[in-house]
Structure 1
Amino acid sequence: MKPDVAVPARAELGEGPTWDPASGRLIWVDILSSRVHTYEPDSGRRTVMATGQHVGAAKPRAGGGLVVNLRDGIGLYGPDGAFSWLLRDPVPGRRGNDAAVAPDGALWAGTMRYDEATGGGSLTRVAGDGTATPLPGPVSVSNGTGWSPDGHLMYYVDSPTRRIDVFDFDGQGVHDRRPFAVIDDGDGFPDGLTVDAEGGVWVALWDGAAVRRYDPDGTLSLVVELPVRRPTACAFGGPDLTDLYVTSARVGLSRPHPLSGALLVLPGTGRGMPGTAFAG
């Protein structure tokens, strides 16, 4: 199983691939270049939009446009491109990181400190009206978040823990946090994740040059080696949601692979679940 190159970008810190079925395109970001990218597999058409500040994630909105997890909070782009703040909460030395939309349409938005200080990040549920509810407990580098096919479980990565954790999910809140899978020293750090239609959890391994799939019981079932040292996140896309897209990064590498920073794709790898648009 070898990846193809979907977009030969040279992203500093590519992240957050998300399939938008309404437009038939993949949305992803380059965090440190403050850009939101889109890619249409059928036509090959690409767009790039500057956000003006570091952007950790961009997700479709139910009424059109995008919700973005920015350095200083949660922003909204309308269908016409007009920008407004939904939740502005600037904290010196902190930025938005990965984010995901829950089955109820709320955005679970993560943050981290630029210096990656322990306990300096957060994970917050942001409702469509901007109401914010933080996840209890310390967070350092908030990353991948996803939900089981039945919506009863939420998976979550705080990268320095080297774990994927799982919570019980009641439709809005979470409880009973416990380890789901542990990444051994030397295998990289868990980063962004996605859940497939069978309940398998796929995770990109920063500094691990691979994507892994874990069965619903936490058993490691597949390892896909990649040419890039720092894959950052993965998501299923395409009309039938069978192609796995993987973002990657060049940042911090003295000798990056020529494909570092590219958007990669593993065609026909599995089958994803339809996503939910942000309710705001």
Structure 2
Amino acid sequence: MVKVIARDRVDTLGEGLFWDARCDQLLWTDILGKRINRLTPATGAVESWQTPDVTGWIIGCEGGGYVAGIGRSVARVTLDPFAVEALADIPDQPESNRVNDAAADAHGRLWLGTMPFSCDVPTGAFHHFDGTAITQASGPYTIPNGPAIDPEGRFLLHTDSAMGVIFRYPLEDGRLGERTPFVTFEDDWGSPDGMTFDAEGHLWVACWGASCVTRFSPAGEPVRRIELPASQVSNCVFGGARLDRMYVTSAADGVDEEHGGALFEIDPGVRGVPAFLYRG
């Protein structure tokens, strides 16, 4: 069953999902709409805050509050009351670039992508933030997406959606090891976008352009596909008190669909794992 979360707006480009187990709430962003959204499943309430620039993602901090990718920087965010405090600018970014997606690893470091607004030139890259400095870890890329850290913190997966390849990197003392292809998408699979691991070590990927999320085995083989009533499916995350629900974002930009830009809730049939938090 696919449930469309009731609210008074849709996302121009929904992304950056984070399930906050500390308060049983879902947070996500509307990148082009410059918003942070919050769902409280227990009541069905959806709240939204306007941000000062495009906002790619939001992740919980170990000490409370959140960090978010806003514009071409990483910022600390509080929601009650709403406030934004810049922490660090991403170096060497042209004005034609913006933040995209990100994840924290088991040691509380951030891994984040930048990309061009135009989505058609390789001026983006994949970056690392340890709380003091942001450094480029890999690139160049056109649309760096994901990323996802395996539940034991041993390796990182991310993709360049424009290339249609999900890459795998060993995580070695805060550095990326040698890059290898993990999944190469076939033409009718769409483009790999946001992704997350389940408790069985399988990878779930939002398939942009293919109206679905797909589950891949630890060997990189597709084993399940859940259809959604929107073509531009952008990200997915496990949520709920038992981490047995999945929330999926989508985008309204460039399409005229009844549910384009909606937030969906589905039953994935498996549980997720708790998200890592930023330690800075």
Q: Is the 8 A contact 1:53 1:70 kept in 2?
A: yes
Q: How does 1:1-280 map to 2 (within 5 A)?
A: 2-8=1-7, 9-78=9-78, 80-89=81-90, 91-128=94-131, 130-253=132-255, 255-256=256-257, 258-280=258-280
Q: What one-letter code is carried by the residue in structure 1 that aligns with 2:134?
A: A
Q: Provide structure 2 residue ranges, at least 5 long, that are not aligned to the other structure.
A: none
Q: What one-letter code is carried by the residue in structure 1 that aligns with 2:22?
A: A
CA gap 1:188/1:11 in 2 versus in 1, 3 angstroms: same
Paired with 1:14 and 1:78, the residues of 2 have a C-alpha distance of 20
Q: Is the 8 A contact 2:103 2:149 kept in 1?
A: no
Q: Provide structure 1 residue ranges, at least 5 long, that are not aligned to the other structure.
A: none
Q: CA deviation at 1:186?
A: 3.3
Q: Is the 8 A contact 2:155 2:171 kept in 1?
A: yes
Paired with 1:225 and 1:71, the residues of 2 have a C-alpha distance of 32
Q: Is the 8 A contact 2:104 2:276 kept in 1?
A: yes
Give the alignment's Cα RMSD to 1 decimal: 1.5
Taking only the aligned residue pairs, the percentage that are identical comes to 32
Once the two structures are superposed, residues 187-221 of structure 1 have per-residue CA deviations (whole angstroms, 9 ceiling, x without a partner) of: 31110000111110100011111100001011111
Q: What one-letter code is carried by the residue in structure 2 that aligns with 1:229?
A: S
TM-score, length of structure 2 as denominator length: 0.94
Greater mean alpha carbon deviation, residues 202-211 or residues 85-94: 85-94
Q: Is the 8 A contact 2:124 2:139 kept in 1?
A: no
SS of structure 1 residue aligned to 2:18: strand
SS of structure 1 residue aligned to 2:141: coil
Q: Is the 8 A contact 2:126 2:139 kept in 1?
A: no
Q: Is the 8 A contact 1:145 1:193 kept in 2?
A: yes
CA gap 1:137/1:97 in 2 versus in 1, 3 angstroms: closer
SS of structure 2 residue aligned to 1:275: coil
TM-score, length of structure 1 as denominator length: 0.94
Q: CA deviation at 1:13?
A: 0.6
